[in-house]
Amino acid sequence: MWFNQLKTAILLGSLSGLLMLMGGLFGGFKGIAIFFFISLVMNGFAYFYSDKMVLRMYNAKSLDKQQYGWIYDMVGELAQDVKIPMPKLWLVETPMANAFATGRNPSHASVAVTTGILEILEPSELRGVLAHEISHVTNRDILISSVAAVLASTIGFLANMMQNMAFWGTMSRDEQRRGPNPLVLLVVAILMPIAASLIQLAISRSREYLADESGAEVSHDPLALASALEKLESRAQRVHFADNDTSHASTAHLFIVKPFSGHGLSALFSTHPPMQKRIERLRQMYEKMMHLR
């Protein structure tokens, strides 16, 4: 578990380094300061409003406590075990079987489940999924993912500006003498967004592994989560977002299983680790638990 935490810190540092490098190429020390400030503003907005935007995007409705009281009891028990306030629970009406957590901190957390996931999972399997989502909350994964997404988006914005500068040659004469030539700017503008996207995806995959591990520890049942993941992966092959659905691509990392079919390039640039590896890790956790008893 500590390895995934260290890996995330290194990757976030790498993203920040890319942003600082591009800011420096764009405008020296002033460029670094300006774009660092821009990233802070964008991170602040994502921190306070991303959860509301996501829930509105999927038309999530408050989970009916009378109809789904057993889910409230389940989540309340898990939240008590990890010593966080009871998250708000939401229902997304879609046949796609999935779940996600959002919210800037444990005191403002929300967990959403789809009608599809309630149709196919046994209570023990759903408990494993909910433990996974609560682990995202306790691990501050929503904040980390938001920061990574904003940094990557800022790098993409900078890259677009650099491409325009390289193409139109709009730098002043002084900048042309001191700064990189247009060809260097163009190369950086092409490569940096790719590097930023790969780092962002690596962060997302690392946090999924971590949530699997900590979720299995909270639920004390790694095999239940492994069984749930198998069912969700099977359902996702039949009911999912279209691979070219860019409107939902920005929120794909939130879901417990990737909400796309995973064919073609989407399998290479995935927000989630390979499902088989996740399941194997959970089974290994179960074996270790049995060995310690």
CA 254 and chain centroid, separation: 5
User: Of 99, 113, 107, nearest to 137 (Cα)?
Assistant: 107
What residue has token string 């540092």? 13
The verdict on whether 287 is a catalytic residue reads no
Calpha distance 180→276 (Å, rounded): 46
Q: Which letter, b or e, does each residue of 90-101 get, where b requires 16 or more Cβ atoms within 10 Å of its Cβ?
A: bbbebebbbbbb
Largest distance between two CA atoms of the chain: 73
Calpha distance 274→252 (Å, rounded): 15
Calpha distance 148→150 (Å, rounded): 6
Catalytic residue among 133, 208, 213, 233: 133
Q: How far apart are the first and last CA of the chain?
A: 21
User: Going by C-beta distance under 8 Å and a sequence separation of 6 or more, which residues neighbour residue 54?
Assistant: 100, 102, 251, 254
Token pair for 34: 């300006």
CA 63 and chain centroid, separation: 23
> Looking at the annotation, which residues are catalytic?
133
